[in-house]
Each structure stands twice: as structure tokens, then as C-alpha cells.
Structure 1
């Protein structure tokens, strides 16, 4: 299944991605990350052994010593066999005048494959991302193996294929693209091409999408160094998440800020320059499913929770919130870029509602501008067209994808399609082409729908 997708605008990716350089410094980083991630598991194992009254230290040391001796004996025997084989091989070659023996295999032109300039040029061409290409990110899980697939979409040829992928430690729940240098490059001038990934684990991994075959992320938000043999607290706190990360939102105006929401009922504000949590918000009583920065007011954001409430607040004044109470769990929230004081809310009962934050009575949110029964199942996908006012897309567990015209707060369905993608989990409009919609669902496939091919869409929105 594909749980989340996201477009990357044209020109954001490096035209020639770098190959991952595995040096001693990267080896040390991998070792440290592995130690930190194994810390909790080691702590649990030790605790279980102590609880069961097992004292395996002496037995383990004895067994380990025996195994080491056995391994040394086998290695010595193998080395001796290899030396004898090489000597016999060299002798047999030297007895044949028509054959050449190379002590160094790299000197043999017939059996050694060497990377030449032609092969490197061919590989570079295969990885090239043209300024007219879009990248499309897809968080995929198949047979308990999770990965982020980075698709390249060649619009002229309508060709969509996996450019490269990234292995993930756990089931991915959300992804967010970042145009800001992170990790070792944090604070550098210019634009970046990174992705933050939230999973069932409480940590947030940030990867550099301009590096191919990378083995480790650029940085990890919420990772607690030195937790080896020490169990990390599962109680909600102000420094890091302790449960699954449900959603994220990057601030496009203050580019070093990232919001994350979690099943631990908190929302965290991260400073990407030093990968630390600078503020924690605790205004919800159940898992926080959705979070989004306002597109105009740089410090305002919105949150939606399974406690059936929506909150709008200012990052500078977390104690002041405006709250809307709903009849069902919140699935998704999206600000309207064409009316930045308004937002759409999708809920588990298949309803879409449209609110104006100005129509509030003190700390209580006002009535919706309209309420739409959009689907028979939960509305698990919602997006607002960034180029066409009044155009929104919804997807549901009822397997339908629908396009709506919400002009003048009078919603009407433009078209409905079933693309045989299973339960729809994500639908995103392309930022560069207004009538292209990427869709994904439970069957693990990504489909790019050119809506201009639909007569109903052309009739409502023109050519």
C-alpha cells in the first residue's frame, strides 16, 4: 500500500544527483544510529532476563569464547586451503606457455570490469533530472518492508518511473518536502531538496533527495543520543515525541521551522538548523491527525484530532486557541490558498466542512460556511488546487476520487472516478500543472490523472 504521496515542483531537484559517499565519517554515523536504535531493545532484553532470574552471562561468555576459537580454526584452515590453491594454480599456469597468470586480478584485462568514462556518463544520464521534470514521492509498504519511492514524471512522454528509493525503519504515515538544508548542511545559503518522514516510530527522519543510494538520513528529529541500555520514557514531554508521527507541515516563510503532530496527543515545533524541539503544544486529548501552517500568517497554524476538535492558534501564544467541535474524528485539514482565512476539514464520517476563522465567538469557532456529504466512507484524502480557486479533490475508503467546485460556498460535484487503486489514502494536485492529480491507495500503485481529458472538468474550468 501507499500511505502518502507528495509532488516536488519543477527545478527544485538537482539536475545531477550525487552518489552516496561511504567514508569513515559516514560509517561512524551509521554505527551511532544503530547503537541508539538498539538501546531500547537491549534494555528490554536485559530486563526480561533479570525478571526471569536467568544468569546467562557466564554461559554466554563461555559459548562466545568457544565460538571464537571455532571460527579462528575454520578461518586458519580456509586460509591454508586458499594458499595451497593459489600455489597450485600459479604452478599450473606457469607450466603452460600459452597462458598468462596475473598475481593481481586487476591487471587482467579479460576478467576485470572497470568503470570507464563511458559507463559513468551513461549512469549520469540515467539519473539526470531535467528542469521540466517533476519528482513525486510515495511512502510505500509491501510485505512488511517500507520504503520511500522517488518517482520521476516526464510530462512530455507521460512517463512515470522510480528514479531511486530509500529504505525506511517502520511503516510510513506522512511525508513533507523541505526546501531547507538540514543536518551537516544546516544554515547553508540557497535552496535544498529534502524530505521529512513520519512513521510509527517517534523519530522523524530527514533525507537528502539529491543523494542517491544513501544509507542514513541527514538528521533525525527526536532522537535521543546515548540511550543505549537506557529505556526512553513513554510519557509525553516537551523535547520529543513518544508515539507515532501522524502529520507534518513545513513553514514556507520561516523555512527553518517544521511542525509535527503525533499519537502522543502533542504537536511539536522543530528548529531545523539544530534539529531540536523549541516548543510543544498540548491542547488536544487524543492523537493529533493533522497539522498545517497558514499560507499567509507565518506564525498561525491549525490542528485536528481524534478528540473531535479543530484548533487554530499562534505559535507565539500557545495558551490562546480557537476551538471547533465536530461530530466525528478529523482526518485531514487544508487551508484555502485563495482565501487564507478559510480552511477545509475532512472527517471520518465522509463529510467535508468549510470554515472561516474570523467567524468565531471568543475561543469558540463559528459555524461552517458549508457542509458537504462527500463520500460514503471516511474522507482519507483531501487537497485544494493551488492554481484554480474553488477546485478541490477528495478521496475515500469507498475507493472513489471526486472533484468538487466550491465556488460561492455552494459545492457541486464535477466528476467522480474509480481508478482501481483500492482504498484511496492520498490525492495531491501538481504545483506546476493545474489539472494533474496524483492519486494512491491500498493496492500500492500511483496514478497521475490528467483531468483535462474529462469533459465535465473542461466544462467547469475551461481548457
Structure 2
């Protein structure tokens, strides 16, 4: 299953990615990470044991109470930190080890391998795009970084350049070029991705380094080593960090050190990437916050959409003055119109897409579009071609729309249920605006060049040089080769799979085919 996609524009990635270097400074950093995660694991294990004992009607007793003869060994405090002893964890024995990314660099290996033929595949050309895919397979989540080469000789070649293991099921991705962590002192823009998962923390990974072991920064991380023994995790929202799943992220391209996050704990938070601390927290929603987006012109204006069936627009400098729009269903996606920054699109789980004028302050929509019979789980607006939007649904279809004079009409559609399953993400390429990336429950990534569709060329002729000059006669879809076994029939059909049902909490999806 692929739950989120994100393009990286051409030229943003380093031509030759760095190799991960486990030096003394990095060793200390990951040693601290490991200590915190180990403390958290111990806490969860103890909590599970207490819950099991209570369920079985057993008294919660210590080891010494169960067997008085063991009291002299003080096993109850065995795991407590000793002031004289050096703290140990899973990385304690690594300090004397050297890490080499290849046999050629290891001085103790005398039999040299031939130069790896795949080294050239790691080179990222200035004409290449990267496509990030948040993938979960067999309960293991990772971030796949695809390299997409659209040059004439390769005709849309796509392959996995490298990948990153993730700690929990990923829900959202956001690319940013603000340098954090190890390379924060380096001048110039970077190449990073922020990942939101079912964990309340936000991890930021350096895409220009391969074989990373830990993220360069973690927003909202709590120091679990200082937590009192036996203290329970609190789901109550606060102003410092999230306490539930991070469902949406939005980077402010004008104030580059600001990252906004939306969470199932009902709060929206602004993070200062310089200090890696929460700068502001907003609690104007009463249910899970599913979507958010910065206005492309008014850099401090933020729109948020929630399962409380509302969309709120406010200035982050004065959050008390806000406009609220009430909807008939839960919000799925939210996009500002890049061609008219006063307006925004909202998709909901009843199959509707609505277009609002932000100046009306909670007024009626400019238009309503019954786009699908099931939830519009994915939506994007073309930043280059005015009026071109795309929607994807849990019904397994992707549709391209022409919104001309505020009268939307469908240009073309594609049934992708047999290949992609339920559609969870659709996004236009920033450098080739008619290249559309699609993914969903089937676990595959497809790139559809919609300019190869005759209807698209006729509808948008004159609005884009790319479309006007296109003379392709056959529609082009680039699919990532998949050598794995095919998904089960139930998964590919997508009828019973829902992104909101994956969590153990009550993430529920309502279905309504009512026309408006």
C-alpha cells in the first residue's frame, strides 16, 4: 500500500548523494536516539504487563514480593541507571567499530570486487525528477525514493534510487529545502522530506544521503529517559508536541523555517525548523485535522480541514480572527487555487468537490461537483495550467477536470482499480505539469502523461505550450516494474480497504452517494 506521494523538482537533489558517515558525532547522536526509544519500549512492555495482570485478576506485584529470596539482588531496580556505571544500549559496542559503505573502502579486505555497475544509477541528472512514495508492505513501512527520467532515450524510465525505513505507518509527506540537523551549517538549500506517521513525532530525513540510519531531526520528540517510572502516556492535547497521529504537513515556502502539522489530537502546530521546537499551537477544531495548506500569496494565511466537517482559514499571526465553512461530510483534501489565491478547493468523503471564495468568510461555495460515488481521497490542482484539476477516489478511478468559468466538466477518466486499487494520492509533477503520479492500496506507482490523451489536448489547447505541441496518438502510462507476487484479490479490488480503518483508533470512513 502506498499512502502518500511527493515530487522533488529537478535540480533540487545532489548529483551524487553522500554516503552515510558514522563518525563520533553521529555515533553520539544515534546513541541518544536509541536510549530514548529503548526507554519507551520498556515503558510499553511494563504497561502491557500491568494490563495483562489486571485483565487476569492478578495483583501487580514486584519480583521481590513474588520471591522474597531474590530481594537481596534488588532486581526491581535492576534497570535503573547507576551513577557510576556507563549507560548501555544497543549501540554500546559500536564505538570501536568502523563502518565502510563498500568493500573497496575497507583496508582489511584484500580481494577487491569489481566496480559496482550500479554506481552510475545513483547519479541524479539535472533533468531527473525524484518521486517519494510512503509504502507499507507486510506491516513494514518505508519511504521509496524513485528516480524518474523522462528523456527521449529512456522514454520515462523509473526505478527505486534508494529507500528509508520508517518507524510507523506513514500518513503524509512534505518536501522542504531548509537545512536541519547535521548539515544545518552548510550554506544553500538542501533536499529533505518531513514524514508524518501514526506516531506523534515528525521525522525529517536528508534525501541527499543514502543508507541513513536515523533522521536528521525529529520534531515533537519527548525525552523518554527523564520520564518518571510508571507514568502513563497522555493523549491530551498540549502546546508543545502532538499526542496522536500526524495526518498532514505543509511547508511554508516563503518563511522557509516554518512547517505546519495537523494531527488526530485535533490540534494544528507550527514548528520552527531552526530550533526544532513548536512555535504555536492552534485548537480551533473539535475532531481529527486531516488537511492543511498555506496560501500561495498571503504567506501567513493557513487553511485547515477536519473531521468535524469544517474548513477554517486564519492568519497565523492573529488566529482568533478566523473564517469557518461548514460542510456536509469529513474533509479529505484541501488545496488553494494557484491561479486565484482568494479561492480554495475542498474534497470530502461523500464524493464531493467544492470551491470556495475565501473572502466570503463562511459563505456558500462558488460551485459543487459530484466527482465520485465514493470518497474523493486524493486531489491536486495544476499549478501551470489554469483550471486543470484531478481527483482520485476509493472507487478506483482517477478523473481529470476542466474548471472553466467556474463550470467544471470532466475531460477524461481512467479506471485504475486493477493496478492501483483504491486511490490514495494523485499529484502533478512540478516540472512536467501533465505528468500525473498516482498510487494507492495496490502498492504500485504509476505516472500518467495526460497530454497523450486527445481530450486533454483539445480541452487545454492554448493554455499550455506542452499540450499544444503534443502529437502523441497513444496514451502513455509509466508503471514501476513489480517482481513481487500480485496482491490478493481483496486488496486489489479495494472494496473493503480504507485508509482511515488502518489505525487502531476510530478512524472511520462514511460513505454517501447523495448528489448535491
Q: Which residue of 2 aligns with 1:460?
A: 459
Question: Residue 371 in 1 paired to residue 371 in 2?
Answer: no
Q: 1:146 aligned to 141, 150, 163, which one?
A: 141
The residue aligned with 2:221 is: 223
Shift of 1:5: 0.2
- Pair 62,225 (structure 1): closer, same or farther in 2 beyond 3 Å: closer
59 and 422 in structure 1: CA distance in 2 versus 1, 3 angstrom threshold: farther
**What is residue 429 of structure 2 aligned with on the other side?**
430
Between 17-26 and 426-435, report the one with greater CA deviation.
17-26
In the aligned structure 1, how far is the partner of 2:397 from the partner of 2:159? 24
Per the TM alignment, residue 189 of structure 1 is displaced from its structure 2 partner at its CA by 3.0
Gaps of at least 5 residues in structure 2 are: 65-69, 76-105, 462-467, 469-516
| Paired residues of 2:37 and 2:224 also in contact (CA < 8 A) | no
Q: Which runs of 5+ in 1 are unaligned?
A: 64-104
Aligned residues of 2:379 and 2:425 also touching (Cα < 8 A) = yes
Relative to structure 1, is the Cα distance of residues 106 and 457 closer, same or farther in structure 2, using a 3 angstrom cutoff?
closer
In 2: Cα distance, 1:187 partner to 1:17 partner? 18
The verdict on how the C-alpha distance between 1:274 and 1:132 changes in structure 2, with shifts beyond 3 A counting, is same
Pair 1:213 & 2:211 matched: yes
Equivalent pairs counted in the alignment come to: 413
Task: Give the deviation of 1:131 after TM superposition.
Answer: 0.2
Find the residue that maps to 2:359 and give its secondary structure.
coil
Identify which of 25, 45, 54 aligns with 2:61.
54
Rounded to whole Å, the distance in 1 between the matches of 2:205 and 2:71 is: 42
Say which SS state the counterpart of residue 197 (structure 1) adopts.
strand
Alignment of 1:82-97 (within 5 A): none
Indicate conservation of the 8 Å contact 1:186/1:272, yes or no.
Answer: no
- Asked if 1:198 corresponds to 2:199, the answer is no
Alignment correspondent of 1:119: 115
Structure ranking higher on relative contact order (CA contacts 8 Å, 6+ apart): 1
What is the distance in 1 between the residues matched to 2:257 and 2:291? 20
Q: Normalization by structure 1: what TM-score?
A: 0.85
Aligned to 1:93: none
User: For residues 440 and 198 of structure 2, what CA distance do their matches in structure 1 show?
Assistant: 18
Q: Sort the Cα spacing of 1:436 and 1:36 in 2 relative to 1 into closer, same or farther, 3 A.
A: same
CA RMSD of aligned residues (A): 2.2
State the alpha-carbon separation in 2 of the partners of residues 234 and 60 from structure 1: 39
Q: Give me the whole-angstrom Cα distance separating, in 2, the residues matched to 1:367 and 1:396.
A: 24
Report if the CA contact (8 A) 1:384-1:392 is conserved.
Answer: yes
Instruction: Show CA shifts across 1:243-278 (max 9, x none).
Output: 000000000000000000000000000000111000
Partner of 1:40: 40
Q: Find the structure with the greater CA-based Rg.
A: 1
Q: Distance in 1 between matches of 2:291 and 2:306?
A: 7
Residue number in structure 1 paired with 2:280: 279
Inter-partner Cα distance in structure 2 for 1:190 and 1:224: 30
Partner of 2:30: 30
Could you report, residue by residue, the CA deviation over 1:208-228 in whole angstroms, capped at 9, with x for unpaired residues? 000000000000000012445
User: Is the contact made by 2:203 and 2:218 (CA closer than 8 Å) also made in structure 1?
Assistant: yes
